């Protein structure tokens, strides 16, 4: 595998998916595939090629099996080793994890089972990888392969796998033991031959299996399409309700602006009335001051009048005016 392939390959999210960090539905599918792989690992010594975050090696280590996990991506091995640190000592002693390329990896032993899961779809010449993996397997040992079944156009997937092409690649190296579809993945196990043989054509029973698998996957796709249509309809209804709510909100906003304008006008009217009231109050206060001054002047005149009336001259003047008034009244009676 070249350096460019090494850097271009995106990080595998298998550990996050296994523990439902990418959604419960997806996690359930990933666990079904992982557990199928674990069940196919026969014997005591297991090699996991492309071990990613170390989920499968750790699960097998918990079962007391000796497991070596290798991956070309250093970040995958770092993640796997961090996960292994959280395991008990009995598991740590059973699991080895190494950054390694399968084409240059040289193990010290032969393995009872070699796992190569979700690897071949990334490879331009998968027969070389299969031959290399088979060379690590003990006599009558097992090779376990999984690949995406059908169209799965991921960033660095270099081929689409159906059954026939996978069998063409595998049958020269061993006897087909198991063919299984796990959701949208294809799983195959072979018991390896001592020496490679001629490949074989797909058998009628396998064609029938393939047709059934196509039907089930097609139904899965149809169910997904129907679910998406329902979601689209729900989304359209929500969009419609949102539009109605938006219109209602705009209407409320317009009414609010009108009320705000009316309040502003009332505020201006109140301000004008307040100014008029203040001017009137000033005038009233001025009139009050004037009236007080008049009252004070009137009181002063009354005081002067009383003083004058009590004097001798005043008494004479008062009598004079009384006489004049009486005389005027007498004349008016005539």
Q: Can you read off the two tokens belonging to residue 14?
A: 């298998």
Q: Is the pLDDT of residue 284 over 90?
A: no
Asked whether the beta carbons of 83 and 58 are under 8 A apart, the reply is yes
215 pLDDT exceeds 60?
Answer: yes
Give one word for 6, left, alpha or beta, with left for phi > 0 and alpha for psi -120 to 50.
alpha
What is the pLDDT, as a whole number, of residue 82? 96
Residue 242 and residue 87: Cα distance in Å, rounded? 50
pLDDT classification of 41: cutoffs 50, 70, 90: very high
CB-based contacts of 148, cutoff 8 Å, min separation 6: 118, 121, 154, 157, 160, 161, 184, 185, 186
pLDDT above 60 for 224: yes
CATH superfamily ID and name for 14-202: Vaccinia Virus protein VP39 (3.40.50.150)
Phi, psi for residue 223 in degrees, rounded to 5: -60, -40
DSSP 8-class letter at 226: H
Give residue for tokens 């087909």: 176
Question: What is the pLDDT confidence band of residue 277, given thresholds at 50, 70 and 90?
Answer: confident
SS3 100: coil
Structure tokens at 101: 């390329």
Residue recorded with tokens 């419960």: 24
CA–CA dist 182, 179 (Å, integer)? 10
**pTM for the predicted model, two decimal places:** 0.66
User: 141-167 as b/e, with b when 16 or more CB fall inside 10 Å?
Assistant: bbbbbbbbbbeeeeeebeeebbbeebb
Task: Kindly report, residue by residue over 163-197, the tens digit of the pLDDT.
Answer: 888 999 999 999 999 999 888 899 999 999 998 88
On whether the CB atoms of residues 58 and 91 are closer than 8 A, the answer is: yes
pLDDT tens string 55-76: 999 999 999 999 999 999 999 9
User: Which percentage of the chain shows pLDDT scores above 90?
Assistant: 40
Above 60 in pLDDT, residue 228?
Answer: yes
Q: How far apart are CA 170 and CA 163, in angstroms?
A: 11
């Amino acid at each position: 595998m070249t350096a460019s392939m090494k850097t271009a390959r995106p990080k595998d999210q298998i550990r996050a998916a296994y523990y439902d960090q990418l959604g419960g539905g997806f996690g359930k599918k990933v666990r079904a595939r992982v557990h199928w792989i674990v069940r196919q690992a026969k014997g005591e010594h297991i090699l996991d090629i492309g071990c990613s975050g170390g989920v499968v090696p750790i699960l097998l280590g918990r079962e007391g099996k000796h497991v070596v996990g290798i991956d070309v991506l250093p970040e995958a091995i770092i993640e796997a080793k961090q996960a292994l640190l959280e395991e008990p000592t009995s598991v740590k002693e059973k699991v080895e994890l190494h950054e390694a390329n399968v084409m240059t990896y040289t193990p010290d032993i032969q393995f009872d089972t070699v796992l190569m899961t979700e690897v071949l779809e990334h490879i331009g010449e998968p027969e070389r990888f299969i031959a290399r993996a088979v060379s690590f397997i003990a006599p009558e040992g097992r090779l376990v392969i999984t690949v995406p079944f059908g169209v799965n156009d991921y960033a660095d997937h270099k081929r689409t796998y159906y059954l026939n092409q996978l069998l063409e690649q595998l049958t020269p190296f061993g006897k087909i033991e198991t063919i299984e579809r796990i959701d949208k993945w294809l799983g195959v196990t072979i018991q390896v031959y001592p020496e490679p043989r001629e490949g074989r054509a797909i058998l009628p029973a396998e064609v029938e299996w393939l047709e059934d698998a196509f039907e089930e996957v097609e139904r899965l796709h149809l169910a997904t399409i129907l679910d998406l249509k329902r979601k689209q309809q729900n989304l359209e209804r929500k969009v419609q309700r949102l539009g109605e709510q938006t219109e209602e909100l705009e209407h409320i906003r317009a009414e609010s602006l009108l009320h705000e304008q009316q309040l502003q006008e009332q505020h201006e009217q109140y301000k004008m009335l307040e100014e008029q009231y203040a001017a009137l109050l000033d005038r009233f206060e001025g009139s009050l001051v004037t009236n007080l001054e008049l009252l004070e002047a009137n009181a002063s005149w009354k005081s002067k009048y009383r003083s004058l009336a009590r004097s001798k001259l005043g008494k004479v003047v008062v009598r004079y005016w009384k006489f004049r008034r009486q005389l005027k009244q007498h004349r008016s009676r005539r």
